[in-house]
Structures are given as structure tokens and as C-alpha cells.
A and B are shown apart, each in its own frame.
Chain A
């Protein structure tokens, strides 16, 4: 079957190139049948990619070790869920996922626009075809997922234990959906530029794709943060790591894009800005994909030197050059249709928010690439760490949150100043009240930046609540409905606006969590023997006993051995237990002894967290197995050639030894306030985005009518 998969990719490459060629030919010569043919080639590409994907996934599910990729990324003892997701944990597999998602999304958008945008769609098809061809070329030429091994190994290498976490496995598809989603508006922007149809049509057709992409990318980023918090042993959720930054940058610019396209839709302004922005978003998405797999920046999650870094760089450089040239060439067609009437208008503040978002992105870009920049300028490779990032992004983040509160208050074109004063009264009062309360009752003043953030969050939440209330009131005066119905109808009829307000509220809540947890956390690193206890943030934590489990670890990751601890926690009459542990995975290194092999592979920290709305208590343990080193070495010598079940008995004996007489273990405890609100805020934002992107009944009706009228036209012309 590997041959079939490989053939799918090869034919897919030609299909993508054909799609580009046929569409361009059809566009230049006004021959619709060629455009149609090109579109069909994209549909074929999607089918081919799906078949290839299915073949590979099937190989993973049955752990077919003759597939080099399965041997590299999975094993017979990897749990089934992780077998499925291991496909995209590999370089080749992730390229296939990218290509599959791209071809599926392209097919969707081309199908939906097959009767509209007749001028732009062919060029968009060509762009999408070229991008797909790039990814397919990478696979066919260098990183074929369907490579086979002449001699299938007995056992695969297994999925990297650090990745055996549900969040981490859903994270790549989410990110790629985001990246791919932004390719669609990019392709249509290029088409719009080439055909000089630079009005809002390309935006209207692709707006939803941008929103979907934004949502998925944002969710992917949050899942990565969640993974970092619950899986890595340092207890943080964001480290300004190059790989993290690589996904955040397109999201920031994408956020700017979704706002500024609204300005173009309504007022015909910011045309140059919009096309530049979507090109930048797409380039950053490619850069994000590239950074993760090139090792060009050494980072804590560095993915080492690979064979496709140069190709990516060339492709990105080509995209940048071509986009810039295209925009400059069509600059005369990108003149604004109107002027900015008033600075106290939504348009003006959207522009401001764009500047803040792009500013944030530039800061992160600079910091991420600083090692390369400094090397180029001064000859020595230097780097900047989280303190620098935090210092520069905090003021921008504060400005951003403030703007998310001001935007909803304004109206398009202008707001009457007296009305503005009246509307801002309650939110400003609420903010001042929050400020007073925080100063009086909490130690929030210890961190001025956090204090400011809390106040701004109060402002945003009040503004959003007020908007909902006033909107529902306005409906009620017209229709006399009851409150719940008025709210529901308000949301239903103004999805974009009120969905957007919900997103703003969610983001504000998210920043609340970020500010509180980063400025006010308490962390302790201690060494304890059973019976010892320590205190953190009012919690009394006692190390009750050591645990040792064989097989069937509590997180379902398939770890053979797990050493851990049971800790009793007491505070204010509340009592609960935490059970952190450390999973040990066996190594396949033949140079290690048979028994020590079980302890010398990867080890991951299985953190235990007591989630709470007010604060989280996070605990990680690092058992000291150096005391077992001697017995393990003895066992290696004595039992070098014993069969598996005898090995298991020996391991069980060692485990029992640890359980009964554990040496002091190292614990890290972190009490961080309001962390849960980061995830809650994110969920609210996603909910808001779903509301905003949901099609309204009128839109559906219009599409149906359009199909009928087009059919009528076609049939009449044939008759």
C-alpha cells in the first residue's frame, strides 16, 4: 500500500501544477472550461491527499513497521489514541497533514465560489495550486511519508513521551488548520490584485475562512500553552520560545486582518493595508511552519537540522518578493474610496488596534530572530529571554486590552461626542470602583502593570455587558419581548457584532488570568522524605508516601514504570490529595543493560494540579532513583539475558524497594492565582468566534437563490 500512497502524492503534485496552469490559461483566454478543469484538479488533489492520509493512518493503526514512518514515530505499545496522532508528530506526516488540509480547504472555497468571483477565482486557484505543489514537492522529493524499510524492525521507536498528552496531539492539526485557513484569503487577495478587482468582493468571499483560521490557530496556541502547563516540569504556560512565538505571530497579524477588513468592507478604506496584512499573515504562517522544523534557531524545543530548511526559506522569500511586487504594481487600484471622517469612530480605533497588534508582532519577531540579527550585526550570537519579551509586550498588551473595550463603544463613521460621554459613564465608574477595591482589599498594587490590566479588564467587561444590555433594551422598546428572548434575538440577528463582543470579553478574561498568575504566583522547590511537610501560600503540604506503578500509568501514555508520591494538602479546613509522578519510558539503546534500559529512556513529569477558580495548586515530583543505581547495575549483570516476564519481576522488586524506602525526592510546588481563567477566557473567545462566523439565514437564502438564477441562466443559454 505504501506504493499507492506514494503514487497519490506524485499524481497529486502534477494535479496541483495542472490546476495552476489550467486556471491561468483559462483566466487569460477567458475560457471557462479550462478554469473549471483547474478547479476539478484541486478536487482531485483533495481526494488523492485523503487517500494517502488514510493509507498512512491505517498503517499507524495496525503498527505496520515496514513503513519507515511508523517505525520512527510509533510502536506496538503506544496507546491507540497516540498511534493515530503520531502520524503528524513526524516531519513527513505533518507535511502530508498540511497538504491534505490545504487541498480540502481549497476545494471548499472553490466550490463555494464556483459561480461567483469568476475573475478572481482562477487566480486564487493558481496560487493555492502552487502552494500545494510546494508541499507535495517537499514530500515527493525529500520527505516521503511512504518510505519503506526492507527489513521491518521488531519494534518501533515509539511516540516521544513528552508528546503523549491529548492537548499536544490536537495542537498540530489546529495550528495547521489556522495556517491553511489564512492561505485562502491570501490566494484571493493575490487574485484580486492581478485582476484589479480590489473592492471588497474578495474579502466577502473569504472572510469566514479568515475567521475559522483565526479560531483554530488561537485554539492551537492555547492547547500548546495548556500542554506546557500540565506536562512540562517547569509549571509555566508560556516561555517566549521561538516555536511558541512562531505560531503567535500569524495569529496577531491575523487578528489585525479580521478587524481591518471590516473597515474596507464598510468604508472602502485601508486597501493597501489589507492586502499587505494578509500577505504578511501568510508569510508568517509559512515561517511558523518552517521555524518548527529547521533548527535555524536553537530553542528549548529546537527541532534540529532538517533536510528541507533551505527549500522553505526559498519559498518564503519568493512569496515575499512576489507579494511586494504585486502590491506595488497595483498601487493605483488600491486607493481608498473614502476618507476617515472622525477620529472618534470605529474605523480609527480599528486602525489603532491594528498598529498595536502589528507592533506586538514586530516585537516578537525581533526577539525571536535576535540571535540571527545580533550575529549578523555584531558577529556574536546573543539572545533575549522572557524578561525582555515581557518588558516590551506588557505595555502593548495593556493598550490592546484597553482598545478592546473602546471599540465596542464606538460606531462606524462617527459617534456623537455627548453620546460618547454618556456611554462611557458606567464603564469608567466601574473601572474606578475596581481600582479602589483592588487597592483597598488586595495587594494588587505590588505589580502596577497587573493592577492596570485588572482595571482595563473591568472596563472591557463592563462595556460588553452594557452593549448587550442596551442592545436588548433597544429591541425590547421595539418589539416588547421578554429579556431572554430579546438577548437571543439580538445575538441571532447581529451575530458578527455581538459574537465579536463575546470574543473581546473572552480575551479580557484571558488577560486577567495571565496578569494575575504571572505577577502573583508563589513557587517553592523543596526536598522531602515521607512525613515531611512544607507550606506554600497558606497550604500545608505533607509528603505522605511514595508510589511505584508498573504498566498502566494514570495518564494513559503507556509508560512501563511510574514512580511518584502521594501528598496531603490542607488549608482552611479543606483537605485533598495530590499524586504527581514521574513516568519512565524504556530506551531502545542496546548499549544499556537490560534492566537499566527501563530507567534510562525518556522520563516525563506527570504533574498533578488542583484546579480552582481562585487559584491552582500545581505539584511536580522528581524521584531520586540514584539510590537504586547499585541494585540496577547488579541486576544488569546478573539478569542480562532473562526473558521479559522475569525482567518484569525484577522491575517489580525494584519498584517495591522504592516504595518502601524512598530517598528524599525533589518537589516543585506552584500556587498561581486565576490561571483557570486563562482557559475559561479562551473558551469564551472561541464561543464568540463561533457565533460571529455562523451563517445567518438570509445569507443561506441568498446562496440558494443565486444557484437557481445561475442555473436558469445556463439552461437558457443552452436552449
Chain B
């Protein structure tokens, strides 16, 4: 095979591989992704991954069970959550959380161990519950 054909062949292989990778990326990511819903969006009868802020003064612990309310990040609508399982270290009122589960009789019953809490900002000007 003469050099220029070799080079063209390599280019074709490279482009094909790139195309394959891109297809894999797009296909797998859109099918595997989970849509995080706001508390105001959850409806009964379907499982969701809900994300929002923990409402102040709403946390109650009862043995293994944890009850709290979650509200929209930029709103006031909130949903009561019943959760059991591991509670992450940063969990506290006012923090953003993600929890999976289903709305049953007005309470969002969460899947065990599905609670994820986001660490508070390290580089932000506003501080939660601290005077400066």
C-alpha cells in the first residue's frame, strides 16, 4: 500500500473510532441519566430522584427512621420525607440533598441508603448559621 493510501486509511480508522466513542457517549448517557425532580414536581405512583433543600426545624429522628421536609431550591413548596438508612455526614437543615423514592399518601418514602447530601460551599461569601 502506498503511503498516501496508508495515511488515508489511518485517518478513516481514527474518525471511525471517534464516531464510535461519540455514539457510545451520547447513547449511554442519555439512557442512563436520571432526572432530578423538584419537590413541587413529584407525583404519586412513580419513583423519582428528588433534590431540594432541607427545611429548617423539620428534622426528627426516631431510632432508625429520619423524618424531614424538602423544599424547592428556589421556592417554598415542600414535601415530607420518611427515610431510613445511612445518613451522610454533612446532613443538616438548609443543605441540599438528593433522595430516591416514591410519593405515598403525601409522604415521600425514600429508598434505604439513598440519601445524598451536598457539602456546603467552600468558597462562598454567604455562611449558613454562622456570624462573621
Contacts and interface: CB of A to CB of B under 8 A. Distances in A.
Contact of A388 (B32, B96, B121): B32
Contacts of A370: 29, 33
B21 interface: yes
Interface string A370-402: 100010000011111101100110000000000
Contacts of B90: 162
15 contacts: A71-B132, A72-B132, A91-B123, A293-B123, A300-B116, A304-B126, A306-B125, A362-B21, A366-B25, A367-B29, A374-B29, A380-B35, A383-B34, A604-B89, A666-B86
Q: At the interface, is chain B mostly helix, strand, loop or mixed?
A: loop
B33 A589 contact: no
B28 A362 contact: no
Interface of A: 71-72, 89-91, 94, 153, 157, 160, 162, 232-234, 292-293, 295, 298-307, 339, 355, 359, 362-363, 366-367, 370, 374, 380-385, 387-388, 391-392, 525, 527, 587-591, 603-605, 622, 624, 626, 666, 668
A274 B88 CA distance: 44
B36 interface: yes
Contact of B33 (A233, A298, A359, A374): A374
A668 B86 contact: yes
B88 A589 contact: no
A367 B21 CA distance: 13
A304 B121 contact: yes
Contacts of A589: 129-131
A388 B33 CA distance: 8
B11 interface: no
B119 A300 contact: yes
Among B30, B34, B119, B122, the one with the most A-chain Cβ atoms within 10 Å of its Cβ is B122
Contacts, number: 120
B42 interface: no
Given A304-B124, A355-B14, A382-B33, A525 B113 contact: yes
Contact of A363 (B25, B35, B117): B25
B61 interface: yes
Interface in B78-132: 85-90, 96, 113, 116-127, 129-132
Given A71-B132, A362-B25, A668-B86, 16 more contacts: A94-B123, A232-B89, A300-B116, A302-B96, A303-B121, A303-B122, A359-B21, A381-B35, A382-B36, A383-B34, A384-B33, A391-B28, A525-B85, A588-B131, A591-B129, A603-B89
B88 A303 contact: no
B17 interface: yes
A307 B121 CA distance: 13
B74 interface: no
Contacts of A385: 34
Contacts of A367: 29
A305 B98 CA distance: 19
Contact of A392 (B17, B25, B85, B124): B25
